Structure 1
Amino acid sequence: MRLVNPPDCPPQNPTFSQAAVSNSPATVYLAGQVGVDPATGALAGSDVSSQTEQVFLNARVILAAAGTSLSRVVRVTIYMTDLGEWASMNEVYQRHFGEHAPPKTTVQVSALALGARVEIEFTAEA
């Protein structure tokens, strides 16, 4: 995979890339993940940070079961009920992705399943 960040595009944000070019024909599409703790079946807290943390824990398990990992994610779509909480969500996001910065889109929605504050979709190379 090659990340694309042309210098003549809008100002760069270090938390995501403008595009990702996949060299792999096999792609893994995760369903939108909300922060449900598999041990309880309930949201892993009422705040966006706790829920985002659980989203990433669940996504790691699903990606591994599909034979891939966060380091091979090529696209992320984030749905939030309050963009005012973006910084809190993004702190957890950056901790999990580290230097890897796949393209991402974040949108505000009126509601999410189970009353979640955040839902994240991941697309990865297999």
Structure 2
Amino acid sequence: MFDFGARAGAVVIAAALLFCALRIHKSSHAKGKKYGTIAAGLAGLATLTAVAGDWMGTISPFWANVVVALLIIAAVVALVDWVMDKRPDKGAFWSVFALPTLLVLGIVQIPAVGSQIGDGGKQVTEQMSKIGDQPAKKGK
């Protein structure tokens, strides 16, 4: 059952955590960006508790593809900024904030997206075999 009060409370907590994460991230402290990005991940987890529900497994195929694409982008941005650059900037901050929701939504949708990719591969293979079966035309 949908409990509006609990979800609204989760949104307030997520907003408070996100506000604190932004303040930490913008601080002049040497590790402010790192700690702020970690706090953004916590805010993302709090946001997930506010929006999670049965609807997450039943989104349309278009939105499933969008979510998986966003999951890939967010994961790569967070990894590149944090692991390779050693300095999580704004991109990493917002990617880490979005990752909890994208992970939950995206992992649920990966089988459907994989099936679509497989179907696309079959269609390409069929078209290529049709082209290969046609006799070659001779030039004039």
> TM-score w.r.t. structure 2 length?
0.29
Tell me which protein shows more strand as a share of its residues: 1
Between 1 and 2, higher relative CO (CA 8 Å, sep ≥ 6) is seen in: 1
Tell me which protein shows more helix as a share of its residues: 2
Select the structure of larger CA radius of gyration: 2
